[in-house]
Amino acid sequence: MATAGSATDASLDAEPAVGPGAPAFRPLYQQIKDLITRSLQAGEWRPGEAIPSEMELAARFKVSQGTVRKAIDALADENLVVRRQGKGTFVATHAEEHTQFRFLRLAPDDGSAGPAARRFIDCRRVRAPADVARALQLRSGDAVVEVRRVLSFGGRPVVFDDLWLPGVPFRGLTAERLAGYRGPMYRLFEAEFGVPMVRADERIRAVAADATAAGVLEVPPGTPLLSVERVSFTYGDKPVELRRGLYHTAAHHYRNQLL
């Protein structure tokens, strides 16, 4: 079977489709990948849950197991999904993640990986300034939630984060909720608000500590700090967080691997 006729709950290309608009060529496994992504987006399976087995998905989409496998491989490459031999394939989650990995690329200069202590400075509903609105694809003045917090390692404040979340999915996010939660903040976002962070872009520069940052991070004003501006996305490449972080890099560094 070269072209599938139809699937149970969504449509694959019925014909090779070589119209004048030339939709080019779209491999079957990519179409399957999109269908699975759509199911993730729709919440058909929640973070941490298993998705159906390859055999089941192959039956559902009327394609071979190999094609489903390629689709899932692609999803696994993007960390949307995690494969576990003998057990199944699971929707990626920030639940385990060994606390501060994956998205916080800060490492201590020596290997000592002490646990992070969090302190929330505030959490307020505000109207989105123009730059925040632009980053989150909202309109200026739309409701957003602003959170400010500090991360400390070994008793010393190292990270000062100022972040904004769209008001609508994050209605009900309060300082108490944040302070009372055990586990990574992104885990709370996905578990309590149904917004899993899946990808992020960062822009990094060096800046001098202003009075506020100096006070929070307990350094003299003017101290060089790493400025990390991050936009995080959920499933449909939809931006759902703007974060401005200031990192004190006297005993820590931002690690990155190029390949």
Partner DNA sequence: GAGTGGTCTAGACCACTGA
Partner DNA sequence: CAGTGGTCTAGACCACTCG
Binding residues (CB under 8 A) for a copy of itself: these are 78-79, 102-103, 105, 198-208, 222, 224-227, 229-230, 247, 249, 252-259
Can you tell me the distance from the alpha carbon of 223 to that of 211, in angstroms, rounded to the nearest whole number?
10
Burial class (CB in 10 A: 0-12, 13-18, 19+), 163: buried
* CB-nearer residue toward a copy of itself: 96 or 109: 109
194 binds, among a copy of itself, DNA, none (CB under 5 to 8 A by kind): none
Interacting stretch for DNA, rule CB under 7 A, among 19-27, 41-49, 136-144, 250-258?
A: 19-27
User: Which of residues 7, 41, 59, 88 is near DNA by CB under 7 A?
Assistant: 88
DSSP 3-state assignment of 185?
helix
Q: Please name the residues in contact with 242: beta carbons below 8 A apart, sequence gap of 6 or more.
A: 132, 135, 136, 163, 164, 229, 230, 231
Region from 49-57, 133-141, 150-158, 181-189 binding DNA, contact rule CB under 7 A: 49-57
Residue 64 Cα distances to 3, 133, 217, angstroms: 12, 44, 56
Answer yes or no whether residue 23 interacts with DNA by CB under 7 A.
no
Between residues 60 and 105, which has the closer beta carbon with respect to a copy of itself? 105
Q: Which amino acid type is present at position 135?
A: A
Between CA 201 and CA 228 the distance in angstroms is 10
Least distance CB 206 / a copy of itself (angstroms): 4
CB closer to a copy of itself out of 88 and 108: 108
* 182 is a site residue for DNA (CB under 7 A): no
54 contacts DNA (rule: CB under 7 A):
yes
* Residue 258 near DNA by CB under 7 A: no
User: What residues contact residue 252 under an 8 Å CB cut-off, 6+ apart?
Assistant: 106, 107, 108, 109, 153, 158
Residues between 185 and 224 with contacts to DNA, criterion CB under 7 A: none
């209605």: which residue's tokens? Answer: 171
**And the tokens for 36?**
């699975």
Q: Which does 55 bind (CB under 5 to 8 A by kind): DNA, a copy of itself, none?
A: DNA
Residue 225's nearest CA partner among 134, 145, 162, 175 is 162
Using the rule CB under 7 A, give the single segment among 37-45, 57-65, 99-107, 156-164 that binds DNA: 57-65
Nearer to DNA, 66 or 114 (CB): 66
**37 close to 80: Cβ distance less than 8 angstroms:** yes
Which partner, DNA, a copy of itself, none, binds residue 29 by CB below 5 to 8 Å per kind?
DNA
Give the pairing of strands 239-247 and 224-233: antiparallel
Residue from 202, 208, 237, 245 nearest 225 by CA: 208
How many residues bind DNA (CB under 7 A)? The answer is 29
Taking the complex as a whole, how short is the minimal distance between the CB of residue 29 and DNA, in angstroms? 4
